[in-house]
Amino acid sequence: MDADPQTSIDDLIDEFEFFDSWEDRYRYLIDLGRRRAHLDEADMVPANKVEGCMSQVWLTARVEPGDPPHLFFQADSDAHIVRGLIAVLLIAYSGRTPQEILDVDIEDVFRRLGLEEHLSPNRRNGFFAMTSTIRRYASAAAAAA
């Protein structure tokens, strides 16, 4: 199951605030990753690998033509927590226009979810490496439109 297109970042933040402890939030984050569909093995190729992640992460983008176009992302990782972080990013970015993607203040989202204080620097770097990759896709789609 991919991220529910009806779920917004605000919904996700509300869900995170429901939990009293970071351990519960951490379990919920892992569960978000578990509920996601795995990326097809044919897409787990070096061209789709996200550089800057300690874990292996693959990310693909599909542009749906339109005025404006919309981008849809799929991603996978070999690490449970990273799959949860991927779920957060897909909620924030997938199905959006290039401009909507570029307008997301992901630093604010990261902070509001409490990830800032509870993720290791390596996981934080990986999260933002995935974000940079998604933003590059959005910039390219915006330039092509």
Question: Tens of pLDDT along 129-139?
Answer: 999 999 999 99
Exactly one of 30, 32, 50, 53 is catalytic; name it: 53
Question: How far is Cα 3 from Cα 85, in angstroms, rounded to an integer?
Answer: 12
Identify whether the C-beta of residue 60 lies closer than 8 Å to the C-beta of residue 91. no
Give the confidence band of 3 by pLDDT, cuts at 50, 70, 90.
very low
How many Å apart are CA 30 and CA 85, to the nearest integer?
8
Asked, for residue 1, whether it belongs to a domain, the answer is no
126, 52 Cβ separation under 8 angstroms: yes
Residue written as token pair 């996978």: 76
Q: State the pLDDT at residue 117.
A: 84
Domain at 31, CATH number: 3.90.1010.10
39, part of any domain? yes
pLDDT per position as a tens digit, 108-123: 998 889 888 888 889 9
82, part of any domain = yes
Q: Note if 53 is an active site residue.
A: yes
Looking at residue 142, its pLDDT comes to: 92
pLDDT at 116: 83
Q: Is residue 50 part of a domain?
A: yes
Is residue 4 assigned to a domain?
no
Cα distances (Å, whole numbers) of residue 9 to 4, 38, 113:
11, 22, 9
Tens of pLDDT, residues 16-56: 989 889 899 999 999 999 998 899 999 999 999 999 888 99
Residue 4 pLDDT exceeds 60 = no
pLDDT value at 61 more than 70: yes
Q: Answer whether residue 66 is part of any domain.
A: yes
**Whether the Cβ atoms of residue 100 and residue 91 lie closer than 8 Å to each other:** no
Is residue 98 within 8 Å of residue 69, measured between CB atoms?
A: yes
Number of domains within the chain: 1
Of the candidates 49, 60, 56, the residue with the CA atom closest to the CA atom of residue 89: 60
Per the structure, the complete domain to which residue 108 belongs is given by 9-144
In a domain, 57, yes or no: yes
Angstrom distance (rounded) from CA 91 to CA 20: 22
Positions of E strands within 47-121? 57-64, 70-77
